[in-house]
Amino acid sequence: MARVYNFSAGPSVLPEAVLKQAADEMLDYKGSGMSVMEMSHRSKVYDNIIKEAEKDLRDLLAIPDNYKVLFLQGGASQQFAAIPMNLMKNGVADYIITGQWAKKAYEEAKKYGTANAIASSADKTFSYIPDCSDLPISEDADYVYICHNNTIYGTAFKELPNTKGKILVADMSSDILSQPVNVSDYGMIYFGVQKNVGPAGVVVVIIREDLIRDDVMPFTPTMLKYKTQADNDSLYNTPPCYGIYICGLVFKWVKEMGGLEAMKIHNEKKAAILYDFLDSSKMFKGTVVPKDRSLMNVPFVTGNDELDAKFVKEATEAGFVNLKGHRSVGGMRASIYNAMPIEGVQKLVEFMKAFEEANS
Ligand SMILES: *Cc1c(COP(=O)(O)O)cnc(C)c1O
């Protein structure tokens, strides 16, 4: 068995220990005589799986009691519509556009009310986070929306926007569990799990209870109404059972690794190895303003498309896979999520050094 170093932006690398445990439990989950894939979502044994997953996530993020945790389907993109349908009371929301995912959320929200783009970094290909200390927040805004870590462009908010008292909603698909989060700074946090947590097919919503309302937009599908999901503990219909189970194993793995403070140290160490090299290299350059650099997604270029392609090809052959940048940015991107071991980044940098020497 040869496992590669997988730098995919998502779906992405999962902890090997988790995959092994899932393999061990594949045919007979804890003496149930069946796979988690085969059991009723209403069974006692599955109820324990989903309850424990929620409990472990609550422990990790220290989620206050007045927040609900929902395990849903439809991916992060489905939330782009669900958020305005559920949270727009006045029909107004402010969006900070720091990349493609924030822009998509904003475009979707426009279908349901007045969505204002109050800041953007589109002028420099989203290579920085705009100053959000004194934005023109709309007086009647129901919420302010951010994408906390911009998977494609490799930027992250280091400081939250000053929302002037409005509720903050954050897409944390690509950086949840990478570091501690103060949940009470937000009205709602959500994440598609396939970046840093689990297999595709699950999106987790963490939402303050007072924002879960019955008087949502009248056309809101039953399934997209947070109240439906909250009232039924995410079991209104069949949830993505197996995906939730894997997420639960990953939550336990993160706990064993020491929790989010330890993850942060681990991730900072890994990212520093790569960024320090990019800052010293004559061939490779990071594309992001240093102060806004993501811990999770590291885009870089050589400045020469042919050389980029050669690098990606040779890296792949050497076992460093999925390094090609997003089609909208070009170049390369190394996603170094929680499950990427430090050796993966060290060896990638050694490979980059050797490539630079051989090609300059
Ligand atoms: C990947 C990603 C999405 C889209 O996720 P889907 O589950 O494919 O809809 C949204 N936001 C961010 C930040 C992402 O990284």
Calculate ∠ Cα 192-220-193, nearest 5°.
5
For residues 195 and 172, the answer to whether their CB atoms sit within 8 Å is no
> What's CA 286's distance to the chain center, in Å?
21
Closest by CA position to 7, among listed 339, 259, 355: 339
pLDDT at 2: 85
**Does ligand 1 lie within 6 Å of residue 147's CB atom?**
yes
Q: For ligand 1, atom 10, which residue shows the shortest CA distance?
A: 76
**Does ligand 1 lie within 6 Å of residue 108's CB atom?**
no
Phi-psi region of 104 (alpha: psi -120 to 50; beta: other; left: phi over 0): alpha
Catalytic residue among 68, 94, 101, 252: 101
Cis peptide before 299 (omega within 30 of 0): no
Name every residue whose Cβ is closer than 8 Å to that of residue 115 and which is 6 or more positions away in sequence.
84, 92, 93, 94, 95, 106, 109
pLDDT at 327: 85
Q: Does residue 195 have an active-site annotation?
A: yes
- Distance of CA 173 from the midpoint of ligand 1 (Å): 6
Cβ atoms within 10 Å of 116's Cβ, excluding its own: 18
The C-alpha atoms of residue 105 and residue 102 are separated, in whole angstroms, by: 5
Would you say the C-alpha torsion 296, 300, 305, 307 has a positive or negative sign?
A: negative
The C-alpha atoms of residue 57 and residue 38 are separated, in whole angstroms, by: 24
For residues 200 and 74, the answer to whether their CB atoms sit within 8 Å is no
Structure tokens at 234: 């995410």
**Does ligand 1 lie within 6 Å of residue 8's CB atom?**
no
For residues 162 and 118, the answer to whether their CB atoms sit within 8 Å is no
For residues 253 and 17, the answer to whether their CB atoms sit within 8 Å is yes
The C-alpha atoms of residue 125 and residue 207 are separated, in whole angstroms, by: 31
Cβ atoms within 10 Å of 236's Cβ, excluding its own: 16
Instruction: Give the DSSP H or E segment for 42.
Output: none
**Does ligand 1 lie within 6 Å of residue 98's CB atom?**
no
The C-alpha atoms of residue 275 and residue 199 are separated, in whole angstroms, by: 28
Secondary structure (DSSP) of 174-188: TTTTSS---GGG-SE
State which residues of the chain have pLDDT below 70.
Answer: 1
- Distance of CA 269 from the midpoint of ligand 1 (Å): 25
Strands (E), 20-105: 67-72, 92-97
pLDDT at 253: 98
